[in-house]
């Protein structure tokens, strides 16, 4: 991959290891990816990302189907960005780091990725998308309230994250990362706050969405996929255990 001024790329699932003479910002738009920065490895899932200073070597490998957006910041800056703007943005790359986007920025990253895939040969759009994503992430990472969010479990923001990702397999470590907590800390604080485990909470959310979709006439097999169940039978089992009725019989009540 060659550097360009603040372009955004959707990368295929390829294993690779390299370094380069430009800064790089990576965001996982969909799926999961393994990253290793100077020996510090981490599995990044949807909404996760990393900051790659030009001096740090790194390796990555997709885990199944995935979409990755990459923003390059050349050194020195190119004419499309002023020295002052470059100085502000380049501070983001003072040190390698992993991060988790908040729900709003996940939506933004997904929308920008869609535009780039629609118009892959538009360099003006690529630069605009890159600058937008860089600036938005810079504000999130510089927000002290966000960094300290683990001290206060914000269920409303967590709900936004869950709703955004419910059609996928949401892992507990994703929720913990989102709250800047270890898995054990997150599990303990979450149960103290809600009275149930994170897994039970996720199941409740899936069932609630399934009820809504079924009442709207969505076929059970499609509802299962949209709610993040591994199969229709898995949804049927959990749905029946929770509500005492099968999804099909539940849906017939609305026909």
Q: Based on C-alpha coordinates, what's the Rg of the chain?
A: 20
What pLDDT, on the 0 to 100 scale, is given for residue 145? 46
Task: Give how far the C-alpha of residue 23 lies from the chain's centroid of Cα atoms, to the nearest Å.
Answer: 21
Whole-prediction pTM value? 0.60
* Per-residue pLDDT reduced to its tens digit, 182-233: 788 888 889 988 999 999 999 999 999 999 999 999 999 999 999 999 899 9
Q: CATH second-level architecture of 151-252?
A: Orthogonal Bundle (1.10)
Residues of the chain with CATH 1.10.10.60: 151-252
* Per-residue pLDDT reduced to its tens digit, 100-119: 888 788 888 888 888 888 88
CB distance 25 to 71 below 8 Å: yes
Q: In the chain, what are the helix, strand and coil shares in percent, each to the nearest 5? A: 50, 20, 30
Q: Which fold has domain 8-147?
A: Jelly Rolls (2.60.120)
């Amino acid at each position: 991959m060659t550097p360009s001024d603040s372009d955004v790329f959707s990368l295929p699932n390829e294993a690779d290891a390299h370094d380069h003479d430009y800064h790089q910002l990576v965001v996982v738009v969909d799926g999961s990816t393994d990253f290793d920065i100077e020996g510090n490895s981490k599995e990044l899932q949807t909404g996760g990302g990393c900051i790659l200073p030009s001096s740090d070597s790194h390796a990555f490998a997709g885990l199944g189907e995935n979409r990755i957006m990459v923003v390059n910041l050349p050194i020195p800056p190119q004419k499309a960005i002023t020295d002052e703007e470059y100085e502000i943005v380049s501070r983001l790359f003072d040190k390698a780091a992993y991060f988790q986007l908040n729900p709003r920025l996940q939506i933004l990253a997904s929308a920008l990725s869609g535009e780039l895939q629609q118009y892959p040969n538009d360099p003006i759009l690529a630069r605009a998308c890159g600058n937008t994503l860089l600036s938005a992430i810079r504000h999130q990472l510089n927000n002290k309230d966000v960094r300290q969010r683990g001290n206060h479990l914000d269920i409303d923001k967590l709900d936004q994250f869950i709703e955004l990702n419910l059609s996928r397999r949401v892992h507990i470590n994703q929720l913990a990362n989102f709250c800047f907590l270890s898995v054990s800390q997150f599990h303990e604080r979450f149960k103290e706050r809600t009275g149930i485990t994170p897994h039970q909470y996720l199941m409740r959310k899936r069932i609630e969405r399934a009820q809504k979709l079924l009442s709207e006439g969505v076929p059970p097999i499609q509802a299962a996929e949209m709610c993040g169940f591994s199969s229709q039978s898995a949804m049927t089992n959990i749905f029946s255990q929770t509500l005492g009725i099968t999804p099909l019989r539940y849906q017939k009540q609305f026909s």
